[in-house]
Chains A and B, each alone.
Chain A
Amino acid sequence: MSKIGVFICHCGENISATVDCARVAQAAAEMEGVAYATDYKYMCSEPGQQLIRQAIREHNLDGVVVGSCSPRMHEPTFRRACAEAGLNPYLCEIANLREHCSWVHEKGEATTQKAIDIVQGLVEKVRRNQPLTPIRVPVTKKALVIGGGIAGIQAALDIANCGHRVILVEKEPSIGGHMAQLSETFPTLDCSQCILTPRMVEVAQHPNITLYTYAEVESVEGFIGNFKATIRLKAKSVDEKKCTGCGLCTTKCPNKKIPGEFNEGLGTRTAIYVPFPQAVPNKPVIDKEHCNYYQKGKCRVCEKFCPTGAITFDQPDQFITEEVGAIVVTTGFRVLPTSFFPEYGYGRYKDVITGIQFERLASASGPTMGEIRRPSDGTVPKKVVFIACCGSRDPAKGIPYCSKICCMYTAKHAMLYQHKVHDGESTVFYMDIRAGGKNYEEFVRRAIEEDKVNYVRGRVARVYERADGKLVVRGVDTLLGAQQVEIEADMVVLATAGVANPGAEELAQKLHISYDPYHFFAEAHPKLRPVETNTAGIYLAGACQAPKDIPETVATASGAAAKVVSLLSQDDLVREPLVAVVNRCAPPVYSTCVGCFLCQTACPYQAIEREEIKDRQGRVIKTVAKVNPGLCQGCGTCVSFCRSKAIDIQGYSNEQMYAEVNALLNHE
């Protein structure tokens, strides 16, 4: 650029009080490449902007430096003014003479000289600016939601209700997730299924939602607005179109003693089964691992009884590909099983159960029809001990974090127990009671004060079985001066830690999203971008980020949905062109990129792809890096990493930054 205009703003007296603006303009006029320089009282005012526009036209300027307030303030204003005068807005740079100079220094020669230096630096930078055009990326107006728990259901419904199509993928035979397993929910004690199942049905019936259950995401390619997801539809061995859901097969299946997942092993199911009565879709699948026919080659009872001939033993897994513009990951979490805890008997004691098992016992649809009965002998336990923080907040167990929901559900469990077993005694061992949330603290107080739950502050050292077969819980009461206490129990309920799902890491790698050391998915920013990932276009909701309760899960789901909707409401994504670019040049070099691809790991956004450069015969000459402008966020880490300087970043290019640094030190 050879004709730079420099415009020095007084900002009323904000700049001119300590900086001699006229002198800065004068010095700028002398700088190489500067064709016009002036100062003015308020550059950002309409007359000020008009002055810039007029100068651009009159002097045919091909670059502009405005010395004014911080670019974080008025860069858009001045760039717009330039654009209005026909100058590419990216040929305008802002010299920060206010926040970085006039406001922080006293009036004097040094302050004015510094202002001149700053302007000099940016004049040299802008002389090397390139005209840029915003990047447009088309958007596929369809979303993929992975996980059909309450988070996925909520997100899918929110997006679908905005008129966008949604693919909802659930790996189990039914949607519903953990929430479908719960009895009643804190702090209102309303029935979980009563509030959930209508939503499940809504999902199934929504014209904008395509539901794939018993399905998993196989791979994801592409980038924001343009993902391509391959989904594996696991063979259900039941033709869904023919099946009417009559349930006859499940009553006839000879294999009836399979521990049911939905009931957390406390109840049984058949090999051809519907996980629970309100399942959506309410059609059975055959669990091949337990099916006599698949395992031994004989049986086919279900086939014989099926009135519609829906059983299809030879059905293979199917793969379908969906193009989507956005992805919401709502794969949830799981709780640790009792077998994780040696001190509580490694799961050997049948009456030591997890909180989620207790939910099934307390649930009206559960194996005991909502009566609290011991798994071992079916009797009603008279003494129940609840142990909070099982695994959580225990660095020794590798889980230093708080699982967040346990304090509340333990209080709920104790309360439910007291409501159902009026002469029962319940004791809760806790470390701290964390009941932050609307009506939460009141809820816990109610358990203690109205339902007379015995809260003991202390860790439980061990649970053991006495010779007489009674369970004994040994712990300390720290409020009694770390006194050892031993409590007999008919049943022990462990509030085991919420942890990431087993396949979380693998899924994160498929999606190229980051995860924390516990394999929970990482948000782009913990405060300001809590439902986004670092990969543009992929969002998070619910307990796959960290254990969350239902309200928080639903809130994040709606938040993620809002992000998706705002993305899908655009035909094109328009992005700042300040992105990295891998150079291309004439043959025989094609690009100075040597294709080591070490930059790929430097990129937090997976924006660096491989491109094969081919000759006319289609033979690969070399493989070089290419930046996907849809994914690149413009941090420039790859630029300073690239050994051969084959990557550069627009707007902060090597040449620009080099020139600016040198120019700042120009005066002697």
Chain B
Amino acid sequence: MKNYQIKHSDLDGWLEKIIAAGRRVIAPVTEEGHTDFRPIHSPAEVAADDQVQTIQSAKQAAFPKAETLFSYRKEGTAVSLDQPAPESYLQTVVWRARPCDAAGFTPLSAIFNWDYKDNLYNARLARTTLVAFSCQQADAYCFCTSVGGGPGEKKGCDILVTKLPSGKALVEVCTEKGEALAALAPGLFSEANAVADDSPLFAEKQSALAQLPARFSKEDIRRHLAEAFDSPVWREQSERCLGCGACAFVCPTCACFDIQEDPHGSHGRRIRCWDSCAFALFTQHTSGHNPRPSQATRWRQRILHKFSYMPERLDATGCTGCGRCSRACPVDMNLLEHLTSIAQK
């Protein structure tokens, strides 16, 4: 794929073209001091590029918090079913995602396709183009480099934009979807060389990135977790956990969901919606028996699932180190801190 350069000042012009092309654009928007992905209709709505993270991840583009699986209609004793049309899923651009957002789609795709193919997710993802911007700053919650990512990592991106100190931005196009997006504003881009490890452009890109030394490795964690099932650490770490779903819902890789009914008399829809393994009722049987009866067992499931079971079964880690869960946690459960302590055990 090609690389381009674009002036910082032309980025808005490019975004305008994208909007004008009829795409639904989701971008960071700041309201009341908090920045989150929102649909926008003009570049002016986009938040200033000085924040580390949006509250939520970009996963909602392909895995919305609620979506229709199919609809039904009952007439007398008969039932007819209707499926969503993929064309009804809007062509979506996620503007100024972060590399850790992009990285999240790899484990998500693994979950949705490791066995049965989840074509609803796939159809939405196929209509989603991720324009990620390299991170120029990181905060105390970030740890992408410890789980195999990085502030300028291209994996999962359709386009990665890195604002260089020169006033130009490096635009690395990674997919054809990305190429199509760049093609919307040919006049704004100049071609750039491939970014090889020893090229000056690489050095320039590196210099523009946030510095975030790795604190541990995925492998460390996985090794420790293999023996940790009965460890007291789960109870210790989860004591203050309130059992809400904030961590799961802001997480770029959490994919647990519920299937529910939306009846409107004789017709209705079946809905898929986000769910969380932190909820007490998530696994509870109708009989009242609960395989994961305490918050400690649920916290253990969350960590083991992401860092042990998923790597083993899906060859993917369920964490991109974005730190959103820690920022969102009402009681300051800090994932980086907890993982570090596990890795140091």
Contacts and interface: CB of A to CB of B under 8 A. Distances in A.
Direct contact of A and B (CB under 8 A): yes
Interface of A: 30, 32, 585-589, 662-663, 665-667
B51 to A, nearest CB: 39
Given A585-B288, A587-B288, A662-B265, 5 more contacts: A32-B77, A32-B266, A586-B287, A588-B288, A589-B288
B33 interface: no
Contacts of B77: 32
A663 B265 contact: yes
Nearest to A587: B288
A32 B287 CA distance: 29
A666 B266 contact: yes
Contacts of B232: none
Given A663-B265, A666-B266, A32 B74 contact: yes
Interface residues of B, number: 8
B213 interface: no
Nearest to B266: A666
17 contacts: A30-B76, A32-B74, A32-B77, A32-B266, A585-B288, A586-B287, A586-B288, A587-B288, A588-B288, A588-B293, A589-B288, A662-B265, A663-B265, A665-B265, A666-B265, A666-B266, A667-B265
Nearest to A588: B288
Contacts of A589: 288
A665 B266 CA distance: 11
Interface of B: 74, 76-77, 265-266, 287-288, 293
Contacts of B76: 30
Nearest to A668: B265
A588 B288 CA distance: 6
A662 B263 CA distance: 10
A590 to B, nearest CB: 9
Nearest to B293: A588
Identify which of B77, B288, B293 gathers the most chain A CB atoms within 10 Å of its CB. Answer: B288
Contacts of A586: 287-288
Contacts of B288: 585-589
Contacts of A585: 288
B265 to A, nearest CB: 4
Nearest to A589: B288
B57 to A, nearest CB: 33
Contacts of A587: 288
B203 to A, nearest CB: 62
- Name the 3 nearest CB pairs between A and B, nearest first: A666-B265, A586-B288, A589-B288
A665 B288 CA distance: 35
Contacts of B265: 662-663, 665-667
A588 B287 CA distance: 9
A589 B289 CA distance: 9
Contacts of B287: 586
B146 to A, nearest CB: 39
Contacts of A588: 288, 293
A667 B266 CA distance: 9
Contacts of A32: 74, 77, 266
Nearest to B285: A586
Contacts of A663: 265
Contacts of A662: 265
A666 B265 CA distance: 5
Contacts of A666: 265-266
Contacts of A667: 265
B302 to A, nearest CB: 22
Contacts of B293: 588
A665 B265 CA distance: 8
Contacts of A30: 76
Contacts of B266: 32, 666
A666 B263 CA distance: 11
A117 to B, nearest CB: 11
Identify which of B76, B77, B265, B287 gathers the most chain A CB atoms within 10 Å of its CB. Answer: B265
A667 B74 CA distance: 13
A600 to B, nearest CB: 26
A587 B266 CA distance: 36
A665 B293 CA distance: 41
Nearest to A32: B74
Contacts of B74: 32
A30 B77 CA distance: 8
Nearest to A34: B76
A30 B74 CA distance: 11
B74 to A, nearest CB: 7
A588 B280 CA distance: 13
A161 to B, nearest CB: 56
A667 B77 CA distance: 17
B98 to A, nearest CB: 41
A588 B266 CA distance: 37
A521 to B, nearest CB: 45
Nearest to B74: A32
A32 B265 CA distance: 10
Nearest to A666: B265
Nearest to A665: B265
B78 to A, nearest CB: 11
A267 B184 CA distance: 114
Nearest to B265: A666
A495 to B, nearest CB: 68
B322 to A, nearest CB: 36
B277 to A, nearest CB: 20
B132 to A, nearest CB: 45
A106 B74 CA distance: 32
A587 to B, nearest CB: 6
